[in-house]
Every structure is written in structure tokens, then in C-alpha cells.
A and B are shown apart, each in its own frame.
Chain A
Amino acid sequence: MGFWTSYRLRIQRRRWLVRSIRKRRELRSIADRTPSINRDDLLLFSTQRNEHVRLPYFLNYYREKGVNHFLIVDNDSNDGSLEYLAEQPDVSVWHSRKSYKRSRFGVDWLNWLQLRYGHGHWCLTVDPDEFFIYPFCDTRPIRALTDWLDASSIKSFSAMLLDMYPKGRIDEQPYRAGQDPIEIASWFDAGNYTMDKNKLYGNLWIQGGPRSRVFFPNEPEKAPALNKVPLVKWDRRYAYVSSTHMLLPRGLNQVYDEWGGEKASGILLHSKFLDTFTVKAAEELHRKEHYAASVEYLAYAAALKDNPELWCKWSEKYINWRQLEILGLMSKGNWA
């Protein structure tokens, strides 16, 4: 990387940071329990809007995995989720009425919270419909992973988004609060992912999966990106650039090996496609608060009208992380 590119990226990173500091004014603290954060605590950052039904399972899942504190931005919910979050003993929650899109889909808000509270902590940034899977997650807490990453001098950990879907129509089985969404959306595409290197930021750009297969069969270039780096040993100089797909400084995006080896990596099980999705898709279509003028949601709405089945004969049913490892979707790397 030349001096000029390096300089440009530095300026860009500073700009995102300044922007996030400016955007902090859009956040109003509802419940601030951040003084209770200890030095080594594992923090989880998230934005949410009207996800009340998902929150109980979401919080419990990550509590069990060893997350110590949740820092959540609520984007103007009206389903009681804000109140629910404010009651939780290990949650700090902020509220914003401002545009999700103008905050670059929540990235500015979270960059601010990470700048303010994340410095020196391992920070996990996930949405309420994303469940972090990592090697040995059935027997070891996330702390085991972060301790190992610390010992290996690794600062960021990759976890590709894996879209999960139910068999049959998406809206066939209703989701109840507290239920494991993977019980319903337990299927995934095992081997139709494409990846390309982003020369500027150094990250891999991964696409594919059911969304590309069903919603964008003829324009796969429009399918959403699936590469994510959700777990980072945060430093106040870091900034997420676009969702959690990539970060600056760009060394943090180097989560893959280029010399034939496999680095350790995980998966984010993405349980977006539940019965709640159809309603959400319709709403998002009106709000137009999502990426690229909600092109994704336009495609969903079009496809969902006639045949909302993502399942096919070759779909794979989720069992555990070892299955994902064998399929080559994630890797233990040299963690044993």
C-alpha cells in the first residue's frame, strides 16, 4: 500500500470518528449502567428497532456465552422493547429518533459508543437476529476465545453471516418470545458463496447464500455482503466503515490467510427469515431506511409475493459448529 492510499484511509477513518462524535447528540441515554463495566469485561454492541419478541432469547444466548454488558441503541421502537431493555440489569440503552440511514445504518452511533466505552475491551457487534458461533462454542465461553486471540496477538475475528431459513413458507411457523429462532429457521446453503478481495480495504467481499439464490438469481452482484468482523479488541482509534463488514485501520480486515493456511473464524447465524420478516419487509419498504434505497427489501417483497420458500432439496440442516467446520464455512485454525 502506497503512502498516498494509506494517508487517504487515515483521513477517512478520522472523518468517520469525527462524524460519530458529532452523531452522539442524536442519542439519548435511557438506562446508563456503564459504570458497572469492569476492566476485562466482554461488551456487546447492537442497534435494534421493534425486536421485542427476539430480545429475551438474544440476551440470554449472549449472557450464557459470557457477554458481561450490552450497549444497545434503540431506533425509535414502539413495541415496548425500549422499556424491556431498560429493565435489564446488564443493559445500557440509548434511544434515537433520528434516521437510521443518516447514521449510516447505525454505524455512527455504535462507533461513538465503542469509542466511548469499548477502548481496551473485546467488543462484539451483532444485530438481534445474529447468533455468534465460534469453534468450540459448545464447550468454551467467548472469553476462552478472546484470551486465545490475545495470546496470539490477534485483534479481530471474522464471522461470516450465514442466512438461516425454515423449511416451507417463511410465515408458516410463528416465532414465540424466548424461543431459539434456529429451531424454526434451521436450514442454510452450504456451498454457494463467492468471494473477492477488496483491494482498498483489504477485506474479502463475500456474497451468495439463499438471498442471492432466490432474491437475486439474475443479478448476483446486488446480493448483500456476508463478510463480517464482529469481534474486535477495540481501540478508540478504530472505526467500522460499513456495518460490521469492514473496519479501519484496514489491518483489522486481514482475517483471512493468503498463504494457504486457515485462520480461525466463526459464523453469525442470521435468523432474519422468520414469520416476523414479511411484516418487517413491508414496513422497511415504506421507511426506505435501509442500504442502497432498500433494494434488498424491494427484491424480497417481489419474490415473497409468489413463493416465499427459500428451502431447496440441497439445503443443509444446522446441527452444530463442527458441521459448519467440516463444510468449510468456518475454521478452527490453529486453535485446538
Chain B
Amino acid sequence: MTVGIVMLVHTALDRAEQVARHWSVAGCPVVIHVDATVSRRVYNQFVKALEDVPTVRFSERHTCDWGTWGLVAASQSASEMMLKEFRDVRHVYLSSGSCLPLRPVKELIDYLSARPRTDFIESATTADVPWTIGGLSEERFTLRFPFSWKRHRYLFDHYVELQRALGVSRKIPNGIVPHMGSQWWCLTRQTLSAILEDPERDTYDTYFKRVWIPDESYFQTLSRLFSTNIESRSLTLSKFDFQGKPHIFYDDHLQLLRRSDCFVARKIWPHATKLYEAFLSTPEGAVKMAEPNPSKIDRIFAKAVERRTRGRPGLYMQSRFPNHGWENGVTCGRYSVFQGFSDLFEGFDHWLSKATGAQVHGHLFHPDGAQFSGGQKVINGALSSSPAQRDYNAIAFLANMIWNTRGERQCFQLGPDDIDAPLGFLARDPNAQISVISGAWAIPLFNSNRNFSDLRQEAARLQKQESEQLDALRSPLSKARIRIWTMAEFIEAPMEPLQSIIDEMGQHSLRRLSEAPRMTDLTGFGQFLQNLKNQGMHPYLMGDFPVNPPGLNQTKLPRKPYLVQ
């Protein structure tokens, strides 16, 4: 008993010839169907080239257009020929010209001999699988498809529309249940001959001639009628990408294919010389009875599809430039933005980097240029601190910085003066953790040695700018983790919000903060604000600051409030 190979061939005939020889040397008869579009001259040459092989036959030729009946007709006539001419064939294996046997043929024969009644054909009902192409699943079986999807897409689409509009629905003959699956099957003589010799075959053929992609449903459906033992999987390793076209194997897949233990793979690039050499010359050594295990290949191709459809989050590049809302991650990693903290606390940057281990920058959007950590002029990815470079495309600057430093958390300061910061972008980025102490910009003014009229003007300007920034952050489209405290609110219990910010950053410490940053001395700050008010400038962003708050100053603050539990 042996396996008969049916090969459907349309290009790369030299490779098909090689493979056909390989099969027949190993004792498998081969019936080849050559697409009717192949020219007579080329066909004759091909037939002549295989003249010397006694167990190769050529079947009646049909035109095989993708997704049309021709492929089924070709399989039918080739299978009929196979069953008639080679009496000792028990399984018929349908393959294509770009299929390549990966394991010694003997292993396939043994594998199938051990399962003499099993039909290997992937076959699932439309309801159970999401395989749809062109938005059609059940309608494949209830509409008519006389036009080619590849060549006459317009007619195809509009004819479908028309049928939908008219409410056309075909009757499925004899109550068969349509099944679909990979077109590469391996059926037993019993099942296959039952399908081909069925008295109702004409009915089925007429029906399936107008079904869409019948090669994925004809045998899959009818084998359910006759088979006693269907194993719903294909023995051919064939992966499809998101457009439904098969992935192609190249020389560099050699090891991967070797380890897959699959019997046959498709499709192989015709110029993959190494693959053809390696697999067609495998010495018949110890026969393995391993089950096919394509999981690693599955993973690689699944990843490729994922990359094509979802991409890498936060990446903007020549071939990925997502529209608003389609970024699948506006930036590639989490980062923290602090506004007002470095005004309120002395040495906040240093403290933050010690407490979290993150990379802490100054004001990235400072009008004089980006203040990268350590005062660098250029950082990761050769990103320049030049203000012109940054402001030319501030969003790209930020997205680039987060991308370039992936794996390391970034923190930076923001202030009312950083008018070029892309706040809208920050606000709609779920990766951004934005913490604002509003009104803290008044502290440097309070501590500065400037004329009061200047201070008043400056305060009015900063207040206006910060208020605009807060409006941007409070946009209904905001997706960032945004916390805004007024300064008065914040200094009441500064450690609590600090602790939760640090906790949320999820950096190393499980420990509580052991050291609080030192707060600037605020003695007299209330009076300073009152003076501004008296001058007609109402500072409201810092909240309600009493003129002489009872005991508002540094020494009264508990230094290590969380040490004692």
C-alpha cells in the first residue's frame, strides 16, 4: 500500500519536476495537473522531461484561477486518474507545485499506513471559524459568484451587492452542511472514491461551481458525508497571512522547517535552492514517528501578522505613521511629568532619581533648549537638545525620546514657561503620568530679588499660561494619568501624594519612601500672595493660602512620616 501524490502545477515547472521525481523514487505514484494557461510548448517540454519516470501521469488540464471551480475540477480529474491507474494507492495526497516534502517519504507512508482509515482534511463549519476574506463567510454558500475576485473585482463586488439587495439565497442541495478548511488534504481511497462516484455528484458539482473558493469547501464538505474517521487538520504546513495569501519559505527557514517535523510545507520560493537541495536529498535514515509540530513556525508567522496589523506601540517611522487614535500606544513606554515640584522642593530632580532609579531630566521643553539629564547636549538616539530642532516637531521629539530610551523610565519637568510642550499629545497618552502642583511657579518669584511691579507682571503672565495648560490637560479627550493639586492643597500633606506617585511608577522599591525631599521655606509666602492681590493681580492657581498660616513652615513638617507604621 502506498500514497498517491496529486500535484497541481502552474509555475516553476522545473521545481515541480524535481519534487515529482523525489516522490516517485520513494515509490509514490504522481499525477500532475498542469494549469491550462501554461503554454503548449512549455507543457510539452515538461511532459517530456518526466518521460523517463514510469509512475508519473498527466491529467486533463483545466484553467485554475484563484478561488474558482477550476481547482476543484483539476483535483477531481487528477484524483480519478490516480485511483484508476494505481490500484495499490490507499491515500491520495493533494499538493501543489510549490510544496516540498520535509521528511523522508518513507515516514509519510508509514505514518499513513498506521492510520489506514483516517482522512486528513481540515474541515470546519462556517459558524465555528472566523475565516473570512472580502467580508464573506456564510454567503460563500448562499450567493452565486460567476466573476473572478482577482481579475474582475468590480463585477464581483457589485454582483454580491445586487444579490444582497434582491435577497437571493441559494438552496443548499440535499441538506449538506457546508464545511471549510485548507485545500491541501489527504484522503483515503474509500472516501475519495465515494465522493467521486456519488450518483449525486452532478448535483453537488453544479452547486459548488457557483460557490466562492470551492477548493476550500468542496472536498471539505463532501468528505463529511462519507468518511468514517476525519482528522480535521492538514498534513501540509501552510500558513496564511492577514490577506489570506500563503507565507513563503526561503533558504533561511531551513532549520525551522527541519525542526517542525511536518511532512510537507508550502509554499516554497522557487529559487530557494538550499531548501530544495536539503530536503530532496535527505538520506533515508532512522524513521521517526514524530507528530508534526509546527508551533514555532506558527509563532513566527503569527508575529509577522501582528507586526503588520498592530505594529510596535509608540513607533513612528517610514512605514508606520498611524492616524490619530490608531497608534496602538501613543508612545512606547510609561513616563512621568512633573509640574511645580522642582519649584516647591529643593533638589527635587536629584531626590527623584534616587528614589526611583529613573532617568530624570529638567525642563525638556524649556524655551532655551531641552534640559537633558546630566546637562547633555545630545542623548539616546542622537537626539539633540537644540530648541529649534525640538520645536520643529515637538511631538516627534517626545515620541523619539521615549522610544530611544525604552526600558528605562523617563521623568521630566514641565512649567508654565514651556509653551512649546505638546500638551494635547501628553494629555491623550495613557503612558503619561502627569502630576501638577498648580501655582508653584510663584515660589521662584517669591524668592527672587526683583522689583514688585515686574513680579506682578510676571506672575500674571505665568498664571495665564499655566491656566491654559491646565485646560489642555483637563480636556475630555485626556487619557493620561493626570493629577492636579493646588499648592495649598499639596503642602498640607505632601508625602501622601508623593508616595502614591512613586508607587504608581512601579520602580524598584517596595519600601516606603525613607527620605522626603526638602521643601522650600515658605515663611511669608502667604503675605507675598496677599501683596499681589493688593496690587490687583489675583493669584488663584495656588488655592487658598492664609496670609499667616498657623505654623506653615519647614520645621513643623514631619520628615519621615511613613517610617513608623
Contact = CB atoms under 8 A, between A and B. Distances in A.
Interface of A: 136, 139-141, 143-144, 147-148, 151-152, 158-160, 189-197, 204, 206-207, 210, 212-213, 217-221, 227, 255-265, 312-316, 328-336
B528 to A, nearest CB: 39
Contacts of B168: none
Contacts of A334: 241-242, 304-305, 307-309
Contacts of B307: 261-262, 331-334
A143 B271 contact: yes
B400 A261 contact: no
A157 B245 CA distance: 19
Interface string B380-402: 11111010110011001100100
A217 B386 contact: yes
A196 B393 CA distance: 9
Interface string B264-301: 00000101000000000000000000000000000011
Interface string B140-166: 000000000000000000000000000
Interface in B299-324: 300-301, 303-305, 307-312, 315-323
Contacts of A255: 318-319
Contacts of B248: 147-148, 151
B309 A191 contact: no
Given A261-B311, A263-B308, A256 B319 contact: yes
Contact of A312 (B303, B382, B403): B382
A263 B243 CA distance: 13
Interface residues on B, range: 35 or more
Given A193-B396, A314-B382, A336-B300, A262 B241 contact: no
A239 B187 CA distance: 52
Contacts of A220: 386, 388-389, 392
For the complex of A and B, 4 pairs with smallest distance between CB atoms:
A191-B381, A334-B308, A265-B319, A336-B304
A220 B392 CA distance: 7
Nearest to B250: A140
A104 B118 CA distance: 68
A197 B301 CA distance: 30
B404 interface: yes
A226 to B, nearest CB: 8
Contacts of A159: 318
B247 interface: yes
Contacts of B322: 257-260
Contact of B384 (A151, A206, A213): A213
B252 interface: yes
A303 to B, nearest CB: 14
Contacts of B245: 151-152
B271 A144 contact: yes
Overall SS of chain A's interface: loop
A210 B317 CA distance: 17
Given A206-B318, A335-B304, 15 more contacts: A148-B248, A190-B404, A192-B384, A192-B389, A194-B397, A195-B318, A217-B388, A220-B389, A255-B319, A256-B320, A258-B323, A262-B307, A262-B311, A313-B378, A336-B303
Interface string B318-335: 111111001110000000
B379 interface: yes
A257 B378 contact: no
Contact of B316 (A195, A314, A336): A195
Contacts of A256: 317-321
A260 B322 CA distance: 5
B241, B242, B247, B318 interface centre (most CB from chain A within 10 Å): B318
A31 to B, nearest CB: 29
B319 A257 contact: yes
Contacts of B326: 258-260
Contact of B393 (A194, A330, A331): A194
Contacts of A139: 250-252
A151 B245 CA distance: 8
Given A261-B320, A312-B378, A217 B384 contact: yes
Interface in B339-364: none
Given A262-B308, A336-B247, A221 B381 contact: no
B100 to A, nearest CB: 16
B247 A191 contact: no
Contacts of B318: 158-160, 195, 204, 206, 227, 255-256, 265, 329-330
A191 B319 contact: no
A136 B253 CA distance: 11
A110 B245 CA distance: 34
Nearest to B239: A336
Contacts of A335: 304
Given A136-B252, A331-B319, A191 B383 contact: yes
A40 to B, nearest CB: 11
Given A191-B404, A328-B317, A331-B317, A221 B392 contact: yes
A217 B389 contact: yes
A331 B315 CA distance: 11
Nearest to B332: A328
A285 to B, nearest CB: 24
Given A139-B252, A147-B269, A263 B319 contact: yes
Nearest to B379: A314
B421 to A, nearest CB: 16
Contacts of A329: 317-318
Nearest to B307: A262
Contacts of B403: 191, 328
A141 B270 CA distance: 13
B381 to A, nearest CB: 2
A314 B308 contact: no
Contacts of A219: 388
B396 A212 contact: no
Contacts of B241: 334
Nearest to A333: B308
18 contacts: A144-B250, A152-B245, A190-B381, A191-B404, A192-B382, A193-B400, A212-B389, A213-B382, A220-B386, A221-B392, A227-B318, A257-B319, A258-B323, A262-B317, A265-B317, A265-B318, A316-B382, A336-B300
Contacts of A193: 317, 396, 400
A251 to B, nearest CB: 15
A259 B323 CA distance: 6
Contacts of A191: 380-383, 400, 403-404
Contacts of B300: 336
Given A148-B248, A260-B327, A336-B301, A189 B321 contact: no
A329 B250 CA distance: 24
Contacts of B271: 141, 143-144, 147
Contacts of B311: 257, 260-262
A158 B247 contact: no
Nearest to B302: A336
A261 B323 CA distance: 11
B428 to A, nearest CB: 15
A212 B326 CA distance: 29
Interface string B233-247: 000000001110101
Contacts of A263: 308, 319-320
A234 to B, nearest CB: 21
Contacts of A333: 304, 307-308, 319
Given A193-B396, A217-B386, A314-B382, A262 B250 contact: no
Contact of A260 (B269, B310, B382): B310
Contacts of B378: 213, 312-314
Nearest to B253: A336
B386 to A, nearest CB: 5
Contacts of B321: 195, 197, 204, 256-258
Contacts of B388: 217-220
